[in-house]
Structure 1
């Protein structure tokens, strides 16, 4: 099995090293194409106004001066001699659950793989829920390959990718694996932090507050709170089918 690895944290990210360990438990045919620098929050963006720069870092290992989406396109259309059988994106530094999926470059890389017709899976390591002191990828490394092996033969249909999140606990504390739906945060976590530079001019950081809500059972959020590995199927078609008929009726009246 030929596996393409990518991420949004950059070519030298610790999570990418963990992903390679996971992938090598499945196959020896591994290709790595990742951003030259961190691209967190890049979502499904393409570099259309600037050229892409490619740097060979090692054997079957490349850095792209671009977004995670750029990396998948470059890998499939330029770098790899044959198409990948599987695209793995991650292991992201931090969770990609609930509303996070719309911002995430990790998810976007898996989306692009899905768009190109490849089975694609995003993997993320939750932080800040149970363990606020340190980030480790121990849970992902211990359980990642086993979870993937159980999912590889599942036929998902066109336009579907998988989003896996590993809880931030010790590997032996993981309660189990749960198939979940995308949750919804019950508080607004985006914040703007205003600061001043040495000349007194304001500048701003966009960030997230860490507040624990009360998400419903069956969601990726609840799974993280309960120390479960969540597996969430996401679909590229964003059409809200329930809204079609009311809209049609409203337009027919006019």
Structure 2
């Protein structure tokens, strides 16, 4: 199996190093990742300048672009062989609920949505994760990904991926298939005056999770619920964002 790995934390991030090490027993592992952190880039592609992939080690490449750039290049001619699976991560921090709209980790996985097997986005969720500087900090999560892939990935419809969040806990409670939760409105922006007297702004923190059950899917909890209770959250998400529940009504109204 040829396994492609990308991320949005950069090619030298400890999460991607731990993931590559854990997956090597499953086949050839190739890393193509941004040369520096590109968090929050979603599925953005670089169209205003050339991209420069640089081989920094055997089967490890750094790219002066976004996470999605890395996957796009690799799927469209950078290599003379095909990949069987795209794994994006392990991200330093959760990608839950509305986070998937902005996440470069999820964006990279979506760029690999046409793979023969489902592309997966993997994040480590916990309050201390941002301080993790060594691959060993991600070893438990990386081993879980190895075991999940080795056991056989589920079949999904085309253009779907799996968004996986692994809680940073001493002992995992298992795994849950979850739906994508949602957050309350983001925290307000923070305004400052820089040393040159210019007004600058920081984007506010994400809003808190909305604690309410999803109608029509009894017995299935949200990704937030799973992670908060020590379970790995596995959420199938899709590229097609059409709301089919109201599509027909709108069609009748405006035809």
Q: Does 1:195 align with 2:209?
A: no
Q: What does the per-residue CA deviation read over 1:160-214, in whole Å, with 9 as the maximum and x for residues that have no partner?
A: 11111101211xx2111111111112x2234312122212222112141574653
Match of 1:88 in 2: 87
Q: How does 1:18-33 map to 2 (within 5 A)?
A: 18-27=18-27, 29-33=28-32
TM-score, length-normalised on structure 2? 0.89
Aligned length: 245
Tell me if structure 2 keeps the 8 A contact 1:7–1:16. Answer: yes
User: Shift in Å at residue 148 of structure 1?
Assistant: 2.3
Match of 2:149 in 1: 148
Tell me if structure 1 keeps the 8 A contact 2:93–2:130. Answer: no
Match of 1:180 in 2: 178
Runs of 4+ aligned structure 1 residues displaced above 6 Å come to none
User: Shift in Å at residue 119 of structure 1?
Assistant: 3.0
Match of 2:8 in 1: 8
* Structure 2 gaps, min length 5: 214-219
Match of 1:250 in 2: 253
TM-score, length-normalised on structure 1? 0.89
Q: Among residues 234, 242, 254, which one is paired with 1:239 in the alignment? A: 242
Counterparts of 2:204 and 2:37 in 1: how far apart (Å)? 15
Match of 2:35 in 1: 36
Distance 1:191 1:13, change over 3 A: farther
* Structure 1 gaps, min length 5: none
Tell me if structure 2 keeps the 8 A contact 1:6–1:32. Answer: yes
Tell me if structure 2 keeps the 8 A contact 1:85–1:119. Answer: no
Describe the SS at the equivalent of 2:18: helix
Counterparts of 2:181 and 2:201 in 1: how far apart (Å)? 29
Q: Does 1:137 align with 2:138?
A: yes
